[in-house]
């Protein structure tokens, strides 16, 4: 072995893994909040480590994951088509169910055409990579979901990342950009950690002014907000002004998969050119059938969206009134800012022991010192469950010195 080879051997590519001790350190303190297996669930109540807790951290916005009608639809599809498609949509993996779903989603979203992907992640990564190529330019919000970031990285386009929701900076970047380049602005419609709505009216205006296309990732918006649950642009009556809108089936639709809607030529181009679409197996039959049923329920049971909106407002007001900082959410995602990472883990543990499961979110997902408990709600949460969640937050917030008994915040 040459000397260079010996030297190279020292730089073991696995060394980062061998040196990764963070998770073990938190586990040793008994505060590790991740990868907890659920052994039972009815949607709002789950069993974790033998403890029955209220689920306040799921993206099951319409409360459909345990709905008998969805379960029946999934079982029926398995009986008819089997358990998997064993191929990509391009080749042997297209079912009549996929075509029916694409047609119904396009109609629901009032767009010409729709293409399905096997996850929401693949939808954004795959679509952005395909539509933005060499000599094109992407303008992406810094808080966009990881799958958008990866999509921009694997595309050959020049990418500008503007500060979160900073429309002035976006304009400045566009001012400096190449006037000859094809341009696309990409933003989450609702930001996944903060529950904050994008400034869609301004994004539409800017896109038109600069001749850019606009792409919204509405994973947390379709089936959640807007007219008939049509997402972030429809809150402002602007669906027609957004060129591409993506959604996921892993949240409101209680399944797995994703979709993109837009004008027919653009969707056909992505359908025929996106590696994530062409080289990955299609959504399993049960998943597609589940979404078809969920879409029907979304349109025929408007009480779910109404209840969800009521719950979002009730919990946002309730948590703020207790003295918590809930940032700028206007959706069923309501973050509760705790502060440093270890305090957040301790808060999480106390909350869990008090009978509430929510998600601990720490850097790099949020800025340092802004670790938070991300709560999220379902249309099927009962009033009693909501009050129990507030009660637990109150008790633990006071115990940790984050709020006082009179509803005052004790942190910056």
Find where tokens 């429809």 sit.
234
Nearest to 376 by CA among 17, 18, 61, 22: 61
Site for ligand PMP (CB under 6 A): how many residues?
Answer: 14
Residue with Cβ nearer ligand PMP (261 or 322): 261
Contact between 253 and ligand PMP by CB under 6 A: the answer reads no
Contact between 113 and ligand PMP by CB under 6 A: the answer reads no
Contact between 60 and ligand PMP by CB under 6 A: the answer reads no
Distance (Å, whole) CA 407 – CA 324 = 8
Residue with Cβ nearer ligand PMP (124 or 165): 124
Among 32, 61, 108, 121, binds ligand PMP (CB under 6 A): 121
Residue with Cβ nearer ligand PMP (113 or 119): 119
Structure-block tokens of residue 92: 């042997």
CB of 213 to ligand PMP, least distance (A): 18
Find where tokens 């789950």 sit.
46
Contact between 196 and ligand PMP by CB under 6 A: the answer reads no
Which residue number has the CB closest to ligand PMP? 120
Among 165, 248, 280, 376, binds ligand PMP (CB under 6 A): 248
Q: What is the H or E stretch that residue 210 is in?
A: helix 200-210
Q: Which of 251, 293, 381, 394 is catalytic?
A: 251
CB of 117 to ligand PMP, least distance (A): 9
Residue with Cβ nearer ligand PMP (120 or 318): 120
Active site (annotated) includes residue 220 = yes
Neighbours of 30 (CB within 10 A): 9
Among 137, 141, 217, 243, binds ligand PMP (CB under 6 A): 217
Contact between 258 and ligand PMP by CB under 6 A: the answer reads yes
Neighbours of 17 (CB within 10 A): 8
Contact between 219 and ligand PMP by CB under 6 A: the answer reads yes
Q: Please report how the helices 285-300 and 96-108 are oriented relative to each other, as an axis angle in degrees rounded to 10.
A: 30
CB of 411 to ligand PMP, least distance (A): 27
The dihedral built from the CA positions of residue 129, 130, 134 and 137, taken in this order, carries a sign that is: negative
Contact between 147 and ligand PMP by CB under 6 A: the answer reads yes
Active site (annotated) includes residue 192 = yes
Stretch that binds ligand PMP, among 20-28, 119-127, 179-187, 334-342 (CB under 6 A): 119-127
Distance (Å, whole) CA 297 – CA 253 = 10
Q: Which of 98, 111, 220, 277 is catalytic?
A: 220
Contact between 332 and ligand PMP by CB under 6 A: the answer reads no
Q: Which of 155, 192, 274, 280 is catalytic?
A: 192
Structure-block tokens of residue 267: 């969707």
Stretch that binds ligand PMP, among 1-9, 84-92, 213-221, 224-232 (CB under 6 A): 213-221
Structure-block tokens of residue 35: 């990868």
Burial group, residue 182, by CB count within 10 angstroms (0-12, 13-18, 19+): middle
Query: What phi-psi label fits residue 373: left (phi over 0), alpha (psi between -120 and 50 degrees) or beta?
Result: beta
3-state SS class at 33: coil
Stretch that binds ligand PMP, among 34-42, 117-125, 202-210, 365-373 (CB under 6 A): 117-125
Nearest to 63 by CA among 293, 190, 252, 195: 252
Residue with Cβ nearer ligand PMP (98 or 394): 98
| Cα distances (angstroms) measured from residue 114 to each of 13, 62, 111, 187 | 41, 22, 8, 19
Contact between 259 and ligand PMP by CB under 6 A: the answer reads no
Nearest to 277 by CA among 105, 112, 115, 109: 115
User: Pattern 151-190, binding to ligand PMP, x per CB under 6 A?
Assistant: -------------------------------------x--
| Cα distances (angstroms) measured from residue 108 to each of 114, 227, 299 | 10, 11, 9
Distance (Å, whole) CA 30 – CA 123 = 37
Contact between 250 and ligand PMP by CB under 6 A: the answer reads yes
Distance (Å, whole) CA 330 – CA 194 = 9
Contact between 119 and ligand PMP by CB under 6 A: the answer reads yes
Contact between 359 and ligand PMP by CB under 6 A: the answer reads no
Sites of contact with ligand PMP (CB under 6 A): 119-121, 124, 145, 147, 188, 192, 217, 219-220, 248, 250, 258
Supply the residues annotated as catalytic.
192, 220, 251
């Amino acid at each position: 072995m040459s000397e260079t080879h010996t030297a190279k051997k020292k730089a073991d590519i696995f060394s980062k893994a061998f040196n990764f001790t963070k998770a073990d350190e938190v586990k040793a303190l008994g505060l590790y909040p991740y990868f907890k297996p659920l052994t039972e669930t009815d949607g709002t109540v789950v069993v974790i480590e033998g403890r029955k807790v209220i689920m306040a951290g799921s993206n099951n916005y319409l409360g459909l994951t345990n709905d008998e009608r969805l379960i029946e639809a999934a079982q029926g599809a398995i009986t008819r088509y089997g358990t998997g498609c064993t191929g990509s949509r391009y080749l042997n993996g297209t079912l009549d169910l996929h075509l029916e779903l694409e047609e119904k989603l396009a109609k629901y979203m009032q767009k010409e055409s729709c293409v399905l992907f096997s996850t929401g992640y693949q939808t954004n990564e795959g679509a952005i990579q395909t539509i933005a190529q060499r000599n094109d330019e992407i303008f992406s919000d810094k808080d966009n979901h990881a799958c958008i970031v990866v999509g921009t990285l694997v595309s050959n386009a020049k990418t500008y990342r503007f500060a979160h929701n900073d429309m002035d900076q976006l304009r400045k970047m566009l001012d400096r950009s190449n006037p000859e380049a094809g341009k696309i602005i990409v933003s989450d419609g609702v930001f996944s950690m903060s529950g904050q709505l994008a400034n869609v009216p301004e994004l539409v205006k800017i896109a038109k002014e600069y001749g850019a296309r606009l792409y919204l990732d509405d994973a947390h918006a379709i089936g959640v907000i807007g007219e008939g649950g049509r997402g972030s642009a429809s809150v402002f009556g602007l669906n027609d002004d957004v060129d591409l809108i993506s959604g996921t089936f892993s949240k409101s639709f209680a399944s797995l998969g994703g979709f993109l809607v837009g004008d027919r030529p653009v969707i056909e181009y992505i359908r025929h050119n996106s590696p994530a679409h062409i080289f990955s197996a299609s959504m399993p039959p049960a998943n597609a059938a589940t979404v078809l049923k969920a879409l029907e329920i979304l349109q025929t049971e408007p009480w779910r969206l109404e209840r969800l909106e009521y719950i979002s407002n009730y919990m946002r007001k309730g948590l703020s009134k207790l003295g918590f900082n809930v940032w700028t959410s206007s959706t069923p995602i309501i973050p509760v800012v705790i502060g440093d990472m270890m305090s957040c883990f301790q808060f999480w543990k106390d909350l869990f022991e008090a009978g509430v499961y929510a998600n601990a979110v720490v850097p790099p997902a949020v800025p340092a010192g802004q670790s938070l408990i991300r709560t999220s709600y379902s249309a099927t949460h009962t009033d009693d469950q909501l009050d129990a969640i507030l009660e637990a937050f109150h008790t633990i917030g006071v115990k940790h010195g984050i709020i006082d008994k009179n509803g005052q915040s004790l942190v910056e």
